[in-house]
Homo-oligomer: A and B are copies of this chain.
Amino acid sequence: MARRDYEDDPNAPEANSLVPAASVVVVDEIGRVLLHRRTDNGMWALPGGKMELGESLAGCGIRETREETGIEIEISGIVGTYTDPGHVFAYDDGEVRQEFSICLLGRAIGGSLRTSDESFEVAWFKPDEMDALPMVAGIRKRLHDWRSSRIPVVR
């Protein structure tokens, strides 16, 4: 399903949905970060997605990372909360979801890179390689927070 992101845009449609989701900054043993290029908007992003009934937020981050990238992780902390009412996602079916993502910190413990229906490409990047990648502002903000702060950022 196509999705359009709006950030601080006066023409953004009004949100009608609030859905808890997790995203994860996954780091490997040499400090690289796991990103995937989303099929729905073509941008590089952190693994993550909507939390399902019957799982925890950490369980959601672990499952979404496995589904989108093939990598097995364990959760080691929190990067921050991303719940800006000025950031909404409009979907084809009329849903306008207000951002609600808790960005977790994860450590890769197994698996191997693979793409899926949700990802054109999956790869590890050194932190300074990420600046040149096309990504939405909300994802760039989380990576910036992760690189610049040792304590969680509440937004």
Contacts and interface: CB of A to CB of B under 8 A. Distances in A.
Identical chains in the assembly? 2
Interface stretch (A76-84, A109-117, A140-148): A76-84
A78 B18 contact: no
Interface string A41-80: 0000000000101111111000000000000000101100
Interface size class of A (residues with CB under 8 A): 20 to 34
Contacts of A83: 20, 51, 56-58
A138 interface: no
Contacts of A59: 85
A34 interface: no
A78 B15 contact: no
